């Protein structure tokens, strides 16, 4: 993802969005080139539900990270979401260490331009994440794995993707991409963030089976 697409952002329709999308919002707000990404870019007048961890929206113009040199076969692009719970919670100022785990019904993922690891999905792919974290809302390191549950004519096939992540971007052994976050409990300003929904777009950088 280019630095310009990260740093040139605006508050649009409740999310931080690439400035090229500003005109698409009925009530576009001011864009600023070089604005700090994520939490620092928000102002008190921005409603808490708009908090995100990166200045990137899911749009057709999203530029994904280049495929790693080790990738044997590049696979499809996928768009999905998951709801996660943070324990003990992310703070704007205090460093904490804890977990970020899937909660509730499975998230959903849809892939385009191919079949993940050769499995032809007969419906939405189920997704869940299990992560450890350390840091603050503006300086965060995550490490964990995601389980992609693919429904097929021969039953559900589960793919495990181990990954590391920072603000707005993750790189995995099988699947890599970018993400945004919308808070569900806490807002990282008036209270620690303890639950959020993550929306992501990525690709299978290694589409071969183990």
Distance, CA of 52 to CA of 48 (rounded, Å): 9
Q: Which residue from 169, 122, 165, 172 is spatially nearest to 147, judged by alpha carbons?
A: 172
Distance, CA of 1 to CA of 177 (rounded, Å): 9
Q: Write b or e for each residue in 70-83: b if 16 or more Cβ atoms lie within 10 A of its Cβ, otherwise e.
A: ebeeebbbbbbbbb
What count of other Cβ atoms lies within 10 Å of the Cβ of residue 131? Answer: 20
Q: Please, is 25 exposed, middle or buried when counting C-beta atoms within 10 Å of its C-beta (0-12, 13-18, 19+)?
A: middle
Distance, CA of 59 to CA of 24 (rounded, Å): 12
Does residue 14 come out as left (phi exceeding 0), alpha (psi in the -120 to 50 range) or beta?
Answer: left
Q: CB–CB of 201/183 below 8 Å?
A: no
Q: What is the pLDDT of residue 72?
A: 54
Within the chain, which residues score under 50 in pLDDT?
Answer: 1-69, 71
Distance, CA of 117 to CA of 75 (rounded, Å): 7
Q: Which residue from 150, 142, 148, 143 is spatially nearest to 161, judged by alpha carbons?
A: 148
Q: What is the pLDDT of residue 123?
A: 95
Boundaries of every domain in the chain: 3-60+73-204
Determine which helix (DSSP H) or strand (DSSP E) holds 80, and give its type and residue range: strand 77-90
What are the distances in angstroms from CA 14 to CA 46, 66, 72, 180? 8, 29, 39, 12
Q: What is the pLDDT of residue 203?
A: 95
């Amino acid at each position: 993802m280019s630095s310009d697409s990260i740093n040139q952002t605006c508050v649009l329709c409740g999310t931080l969005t690439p400035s090229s999308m500003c005109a698409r919002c009925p009530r576009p707000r001011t864009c600023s080139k070089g604005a700090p990404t994520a939490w620092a870019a928000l102002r008190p007048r921005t409603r808490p539900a708009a908090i995100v961890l990166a200045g990137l929206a899911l749009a057709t113009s999203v530029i994904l990270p280049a495929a790693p040199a080790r990738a044997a076969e590049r696979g499809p692009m996928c768009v999905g979401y998951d709801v996660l719970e943070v324990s003990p919670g992310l703070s704007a100022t205090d460093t904490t260490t804890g977990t970020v785990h899937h909660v509730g019904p499975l998230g959903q993922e849809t892939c385009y331009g191919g079949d993940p690891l050769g499995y032809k999905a007969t419906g939405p792919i189920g997704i869940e994440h299990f992560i450890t974290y350390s840091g603050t809302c503006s300086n965060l390191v995550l490490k964990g794995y995601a389980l992609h549950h693919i429904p097929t004519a021969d039953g559900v096939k589960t793919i495990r993707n181990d990954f590391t992540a920072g603000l707005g971007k993750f790189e995995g052994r099988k699947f890599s991409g970018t993400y945004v976050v919308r808070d569900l409990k806490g807002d990282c300003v008036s209270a620690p963030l303890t639950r959020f929904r993550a929306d992501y777009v990525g690709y299978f950088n290694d589409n071969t089976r183990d």
